[in-house]
Structure 1
Amino acid sequence: MFVGRKQELEELEERWTSDRFEFIPIYGRRRVGKTRMLEEFMIDKQVIYFSADQFGSEINLANLNQAITHLIPSEESGKNFSNFEDAFKAVADIAKASEEPLVFIIDEYPQLAKSREGIADILQKTIDSVYQEIDNLLLILTGSQVAFMEEHVLSEKSPLHNSITGQIKILPLNFSEAHALQPRIPKEVFMTIYSLTGGIPMYLTMLDDRLSLKENILTFVLKKNTFLYEEPGNLLMQELRTPNRYNDIIAAIASGAGEVREIVAETGINSGPLTKYLETLIDLEIVERKMPLTEIGKNKPSYTVSDGLFRFWYRYVPKYKNFIENGHTELIWDKIAADLLEFTSITFENYCRDWLLSQNGNQRFGFIIEEVGSWWGNKPGSRTKGTELEKVAIVGLGAQKGNLLLGECQWRNEKVDVPIAELFLERTRFFSTPNKELVIFSKRGFTKELRDFATEYSIRLISLAEM
């Protein structure tokens, strides 16, 4: 079943019928569904599809030959092109001879670029001399190496930059789209499933909606030699020459070390080289660097593991690897299960932020929310070093200055009670903005006492069931 990508597919359809040459790079991390989306787009279209691989240029050229010749008239079908320039020009000849649009896809372009030095110049030369004059050709380059695509295709220093007519970055599925792949799993349970898969379609389809959360995790995620168990290590081996240091860093962050000094303490890596390692992990979209949305008090950047499967794997596997490798996960399941609420709470916060933005335009809140994030830092005015950081889970900036939405998220099995709201209310006083809306989100709802308290202090209460 194919779900999501509606906007991206509509964009490609418009480019396909635009009556002019179009060049669209499509990029996104591995497994995010780029090729599956293109398969959906290619239905009933005339397509030359070439997937580059980690081989030398000769093999990639031979594979490109095969992709092209299936559209060449039979009397010429045995023709081979001795170089990439001739092969690219042959695509133009097919487009010119065709009465319908032609889609030319180079899948995993970074692999081709690494196998053939100067391929971007060759392709750009063909675009300038031939493709630009063809009104029924859509050229698509895809890539899973996000940093490579941004630097060597999309950036101004790339030879290809000026010919690009549009670009699409494929992101993981949002919660609603992902749930459509496993609709029989209850929403509460699926929040944890979504947390550990990160909205990656391939990972989601590997789980079984007939099984419980425990059975899915123990069968498909925490079991030696299964795809999801081996996936993080395999991806790092593909991208990095020496993944050991990166393993230590990811494990430290996944276990709660967010600041540089905390990661240094956990890994023993000095801050200088650590910065370079972190930059690489950010480029791979495994780690994310975040700053508070508003500058109140003393703020420092925080690092989180943004990839769901990596965050799950590195939070639990290093700690319990001997049990997992020996097939004794039942013995440690209770410890993992007790921690899953905290693990999932991060995803619930993100879900609440996305939900708030989705409410713009329906007048549910008193103003349009332009940007949503969170805030953390020392209590404003505090001079005591080493004090515990204060945090507000949701900060929504209004489109007009002076409008601010502040929110608290509670992913717990009990109804939220008054003490949580009192602490939240105290933290909202750090913000001097005149027009504030206050919201508390909850997995399981709210006690009667809290509802009375919320009425008194004008706090809006929203449960998962209402969202």
Structure 2
Amino acid sequence: MNQLFVDRTEELAFLEEKYKENRAQLIVIYGRRRIGKTELLLKFVKNKNYIYFLCEKTSPQLNILKMARKMAEYLGKKSFARIQFADWEDLFREFLEWKTGDEKVVIILDEFPYLIEIDKGVVSVFQKIWDEYLSKRTDIVLILCGSSIGMMETDVLGYKSPLYGRRTGQWKVTELKLPYIKSFVPSYTFTELLYLYGALGGVPAYLCKLDPKLKVFENIEKLFLRKGAELYEEAENLLRQELREPRNYKLILEALAEGKRRISEIANTTGLDKAAVSRYMDTLELLDIVSYETPVLEKPKTKKRLYYIKDNYFNFWFRYIYPNKDLIEEKRGKIVLEEIIADYNNYMSIVFEKIAKDFVLKISLPIKIHKIGRHWWKTSKGESLEIDLLGFNKNKKEYIIVEVKWSRLKFSDVKRIYKALINKATKLNISGKLYYCIIAKEIENKDSISGAISNVLLFDLKDLEKVYFSQKQL
């Protein structure tokens, strides 16, 4: 296993800044499971005084007992752990009385939602602990950490939470950025990194499992396509940890992976009613597995929504692993691998659109983009049209119209796509300065085409690689 601590410079800088402030700190750190929150926090407290406690789904008293042992260890007084504490408030109050000197200590409660699950009132207790004791101290940094995004955003950060307005800092830990994946597989080409990103995303716990000596699809076979493989049942395990009815959620995620993106389509495919699908979808959004997009020119509250699986690992798993579990159980993973290889460029076209959007926002363009996203609409004649990426400046006087293609384009392809973009722009009926852009896997003779068609910006993987792996901007 490739045990690496990669990137997280922004997160560490944020935590260090908070640590150096001369005031009490209540910091909330959260993010999906396996994203590297614990590793981040342990990296942060290295060479600092700290108490780390992993909460358990046991009982309040057992958690308090084990936390008391951790505090006793920090205090260097075993007798502290022998005290019978009535509750969390009693424990913290006593700890502060026993703590001598003004040395700063970081107290980390990891998987804080476990405490909430066994005792809903614990959040109110911690409100009192903060208000009456910790907020008055400059020598305590309290960090509440959790993987249950919905619970952290609602029960800890939400406006109805007893702790609302008390946190001094919060950070949602997200996936590693694309360039840092290379740290786990240094010999991979940029295209191979994109293939890998499509299957694993930027989740450190998954990337650590890669064998840098194996090729992309060899790693995929090793991690997914054998019974007992490390990522074979990971998606189901995560859903079981978070949800009461994983079966219905799996039906919905499978439908999404098949390309069903509207509530009505998902309801028809799964046999669930629309209202139920909407409720399940809200939960999947809270878990950061699913999201939706609306036509970029529509008002924010529009009901025109297209849902998608935003987590690449889940998207890959429900597209290729879940429908083929019987074959994998029968030790016929090679057949599944052949299917993946045959279809992977189709799958990557979806992944590449997300990468292309990020790329456009990184580079220097003739337009200062205020907002960018997919746009779809119907013309007055009932024709359905779609633009992969439509960006515009703040006053909507300038627009950039982008086509994204995970394929190799020739001069004839570029001309055809450019002509189609102009046609779509005409039917969209927007006024202002228009720029056109094509982002592809490869564009043959790109420089000569740019000279022949000067009104279109052309980019391919070579350009993306330059931007992602150097400080130079195009």
Once the two structures are superposed, what CA deviation does each residue of 1:84-108 show, in whole Å capped at 9, x if it has no partner? 112222443466x234321111111
CA distance in 2, matches of 1:63, 1:428: 64
TM-score (normalizing by structure 1): 0.92
Aligned partner of residue 372 in structure 2, secondary structure = strand
Aligned counterpart, 2:214: 211
The corresponding residue for 1:305 is: 309
Which residue of the partner structure matches residue 336 of structure 1? 340
Residue of structure 1 aligned with 2:117, choices 114, 119, 135: 114
Superposed CA offset, 1:143-181 (max 9, x none): 111111111111221111122111111111121233333
| Aligned residue in 2 for 1:89 | 93
- Structure 2 counterpart of 1:392: 387
Judged with a 3 Å threshold, the aligned counterparts in structure 2 of structure 1 residues 58 and 231 are, in CA distance, closer, same or farther, namely same
The 5 Å alignment of 1:130-279 reads 130-279=133-282
2:424 matched residue in structure 1: 427
User: 1:351: Cα distance to partner?
Assistant: 1.3
The answer (yes or no) to whether the contact 1:28–1:171 under 8 Å persists in 2 is yes
Shift of 1:64: 1.0
Asked whether the equivalents of residues 450 and 457 of structure 2 are also in contact (C-alpha less than 8 Å), the reply is no
Asked whether the equivalents of residues 293 and 375 of structure 1 are also in contact (C-alpha less than 8 Å), the reply is yes
Query: Could you tell me which residue of structure 1 aligns to residue 23 of structure 2?
Result: 20
Write out per-residue CA displacement over residues 109-168 of structure 1, whole angstroms, 9 at most, x where no aligned residue. Answer: 110122234211211112111112111211110111111111111122111112211111
| Partner Cα separation in structure 2 for residue 94 and residue 203 of structure 1 | 42
Measured against aligned partners, the alpha-carbon deviations of 1:174-228 in whole angstroms (never above 9, x if no partner) come to: 2123333333221101112111112111111111121112211111122221121
CA deviations on 1:371-425 (whole Å, 9 max, x unpaired) are: 22211233x2233xxx6x4221112232343122221111125555433333233
Q: Give secondary structure in 1 for the equivalent of 2:233.
A: helix
How far has the Cα of 1:276 moved from its partner? 1.2
Aligned to 2:381: 382
Cα displacement string for residues 342-379 of structure 1 (whole angstroms, at most 9, x for unaligned residues): 212222211121122223xxxx212322222211233x
Contact residue 439 and residue 460 of structure 1 kept, 8 A: yes
Tell me if 1:438 matches 2:436: yes
Residue 75 of structure 1 and its aligned partner are, at CA, apart by: 6.4
- SS of the equivalent of 1:438 reads strand
SS at match of 1:412: strand
Q: Name the CA distance, whole Å, in 2 between partners of 1:99 and 1:158.
A: 31
**1:101 is aligned to 2:104:** yes
Contact kept? 1:68, 1:91, Cα under 8 Å: yes
Change (3 A) 1:420 1:139: same
Is contact 1:174–1:199 with CA below 8 Å preserved after alignment? Answer: yes
Among 52, 62, 65, the residue aligned to 2:68: 65
Q: In the superposition, relative to structure 1, how do residues 452 and 412 fare at CA in structure 2: closer, same or farther (>3 Å)?
A: closer
- State the partner residue of 1:353: 357
The structural deviation recorded for 1:453 is 7.2
- Label 1:177 to 1:433 Cα distance change in 2 as closer, same or farther (>3 A): farther
Greater CA drift, 274-283 or 179-188: 179-188
Inter-CA distance 100–431: structure 2 relative to 1 (3 Å threshold):
farther
- What is the deviation of 1:79? 3.4
**Is 1:287 matched with 2:328?**
no
Counterpart Cα distance in 1 of 2:98 and 2:349? 53
Deviations 1:29-82 (A, max 9, x none): 111111111111011010011111111112211221122111124364443341
Distance 2:195 2:271 in 1: 32
75-84 or 139-148, which moves further after superposition? 75-84
1:320 aligns with one of 316, 321, 324: 324
TM-score normalised according to structure 2 size? 0.90
The 8 Å contact of residues 184 and 210 in structure 2, kept in 1 or not, is answered as no
Secondary structure at 1:26 match in 2? strand
Cα RMSD of the aligned pairs, angstroms, is: 2.2
Count of residues in correspondence between the two structures: 455
Cα distance between partner residues in 1 of 2:101 and 2:20:
14
Check conservation: 1:418, 1:453, Cα contact below 8 A: no
- Name the CA shift for 1:250/1:78 in 2 (closer, same or farther; >3 Å): closer
Identity of aligned residues (%): 30
User: Any idea what SS the aligned residue of 2:239 has?
Assistant: helix
Unaligned stretches of 5+ residues in structure 2: 465-474
Secondary structure at 2:6 match in 1: coil
C-alpha separation in 2, matches of 1:455 and 1:164: 57
Equivalent-residue separation in structure 2 for 1:225 and 1:454 (angstroms): 54
Change in 2 beyond 3 A, CA 1:394/1:91: farther
Task: Write the distance in 1 (CA, Å) between the matches of 2:409 and 2:330.
Answer: 35
Q: Which moved more, 1:366-375 or 1:127-136?
A: 366-375
Cα distance in 1 between the residues matched to 2:337 and 2:51: 49
Q: For the structure 1 residues 414 and 168, does the alpha-carbon distance in structure 2 shift closer, same or farther, using more than 3 Å as the test?
A: same
Segments of structure 1 that go 5 or more residues without pairing to the other structure are: none
* Distance (whole Å) between structure 2 residues aligned to residue 431 and residue 354 of structure 1: 26
After TM superposition, the structure 1 stretch with the greater mean CA deviation from structure 2, 282-291 or 314-323, is 314-323
Task: Give the Cα separation in 2 of the matches to 1:431 and 1:446.
Answer: 32
Q: Match for residue 370 of structure 2?
A: 370
**How far off is 1:287 after superposition?**
1.4
Q: Distance in 1 between matches of 2:81 and 2:243?
A: 40
Read off the aligned partner of 2:343 and give its amino acid letter: D
**Maintained 8 Å contact 1:27/1:169:** yes
The answer as to whether partners of 1:17 and 1:101 remain within 8 angstroms in 2 is: no
Q: 1:113 to 1:75 in 2, by over 3 A?
A: closer
Q: Distance in 2 between matches of 1:342 and 1:130?
A: 57
Q: Secondary structure at the match of 2:354?
A: helix
